[in-house]
Structure 1
Amino acid sequence: MVPQRVIIVEDEYLVALDVEAVLQSMGVETVVIATTLGQARQAVEQDGADCVLLDVSLTDGTSYEFARGLREVGIPFGFVSGYGDTTGFPDDLSHSPLLGKPFGENEIMDFVLRLVGMPHDAVDAVKE
């Protein structure tokens, strides 16, 4: 099932708009763009999320602590970042899903669908 509410935590607004367009094209009903950790926290507290896409470095800090909070409440998340791998991540987040920038439309679709646990054949069906 395609997630219905996705929060994009990204301080580069044009990148967030590109991701939003891809999510809408795949049927995501509500996409919330948060450019700061404060906005992201408020968005999750207000209406929750089916999954959250996190840039690592934001204007008001890194998103590691926020990611830990998402994990505690069971909201799937993944990092979308210019970091090529999770080598510099804190140990407890080093195995978190990571999509490196730049990415293509199909890559972001696959990433989101895998975050919410869709099997591979269902991922292919959504993209068609």
Structure 2
Amino acid sequence: MKKPLHGARVLLVEDEAMIAMNIEQLCREHGAADVVTIASFEALVPEVLDTGNISTAILDIKLSDQWTDDFARLLQERRIPFIFATGYAAGHQVFEPFAGVRVIEKPYRESDLIDALADVWSNSVSDRV
């Protein structure tokens, strides 16, 4: 049986090390070909999308004290499907410009995270076919 993230190249933007390690392992268990983890705002540069050949992303809306909404807009511009996994409530005003982007609130069930990511990734793959 094909795994839901089979072949995906996931960009994970998460500054909490234990959470990042858990999500990375989870993505690999569900078929991701690669997981590129960014843990600091300084490392969150557009070039990571090119060099990592990213197909989908999990984005925390805030790394330390820096908002990542500009990077989220870049993902949208490049048509890279993504979800937010964050401690902020889905109704927070920072998400208003991202109508239609799923927000998975921490703490979340692992299955909810994988289902949301697999859903946006598989929809983007079928759109390209």
- After TM superposition, the score normalised by the length of structure 1 is 0.82
1:55-107 CA-partner distances (Å, limit 9, x unpaired): 11112611100000110011111110011213321532244211111112211
8 Å contact from structure 1 (residues 16, 33) kept in 2 = yes
Match 1:52 to one of 53, 57, 62: 57
| Structure 2 residue aligned with 1:37 | 41
| Structure 2 residue aligned with 1:61 | 66
Map 1:1-128 onto structure 2 (within 5 A).
2=5, 3-41=7-45, 42-59=47-64, 61-89=66-94, 91-118=96-123
Unaligned 5+ segments in structure 1 are 119-128
**Sequence identity (%):** 25
Distance 1:46 1:38 in 2: 16
How many residues get paired? Answer: 118
- After TM superposition, the score normalised by the length of structure 2 is 0.81
8 Å contact from structure 1 (residues 10, 55) kept in 2 = yes
RMSD: 1.8
Unaligned 5+ segments in structure 2 are 124-129
1:4-38 CA-partner distances (Å, limit 9, x unpaired): 21011001011011111110111111011101233
